[in-house]
């Protein structure tokens, strides 16, 4: 992880062409890079979601546990054939996938916070302002006449 963070810092220095003594967080923020550990979490979450939507014929389905394999026959190195001590020693994206498939996020579209009157604009109307922009109106650009 430290090696990846150092590489991202060097990339941010190269993007902004700044000094080596510049602070890491500030450089990454100015370069528009999220911290590497958060980026890795995002990639793992994306992998888990993609794995959950794979077809039953995909090769990764044979590596997952029997509950999530969608009827695919288990591979020789499948999670089904590993005991608890082997799973505890193993660090693998498939274990993360198994854990995230066991505990899916719940989304309630009819939650109390989603009802009318509880939105941000309803709670703080004086803190939110809209600036309407009309694209069809001519822009107020000052141009100098061409002198020949």
Strands (E), the chain: none
pLDDT digits (tens, 9 = 90+) for 16-63: 888 888 888 888 888 888 888 899 888 888 887 787 777 777 777 777
Query: For residue 66, is it within any domain?
Result: yes
Longest dimension (CA), the chain: 86
Is the distance from CB of 101 to CB of 68 less than 8 angstroms? yes
- What's the CA gap between 128 and 66, in Å, rounded? 51
Is the distance from CB of 24 to CB of 52 less than 8 angstroms? no
Query: For residue 139, is it within any domain?
Result: no
First to last CA, the chain: 63
The pTM for the full model equals: 0.51
- What's the CA gap between 105 and 19, in Å, rounded? 43
Query: For residue 113, is it within any domain?
Result: no
- What's the CA gap between 115 and 126, in Å, rounded? 20
- Domain region containing 88: 55-106
pLDDT digits (tens, 9 = 90+) for 116-126: 777 777 778 78
Query: For residue 19, is it within any domain?
Result: no
Q: Give the Cα-Cα-Cα angle 35, 40, 45 (nearest 5 degrees).
A: 130
DSSP category for residue 139:
P
Query: For residue 67, is it within any domain?
Result: yes
């Amino acid at each position: 992880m430290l090696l990846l963070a150092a590489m991202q810092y060097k990339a941010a220095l190269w993007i902004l062409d700044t000094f080596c003594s510049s602070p890491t967080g500030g450089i990454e923020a100015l370069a528009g890079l999220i911290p590497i550990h958060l980026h890795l979490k995002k990639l793992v979450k994306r992998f888990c979601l993609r794995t959950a939507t794979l077809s039953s014929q995909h090769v990764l389905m044979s590596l997952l546990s029997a509950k999530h394999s969608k009827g695919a026959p288990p591979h020789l190195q499948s999670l089904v054939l590993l005991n608890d001590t082997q799973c505890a020693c193993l660090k693998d994206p498939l274990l993360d996938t198994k854990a995230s498939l066991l505990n899916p996020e719940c989304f309630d579209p009819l939650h109390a916070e989603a009802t009318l009157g509880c939105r941000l604009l309803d709670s703080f109307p004086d803190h939110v302002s809209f600036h309407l922009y009309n694209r069809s109106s001519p822009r107020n650009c000052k141009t100098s006449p061409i002198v020949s």
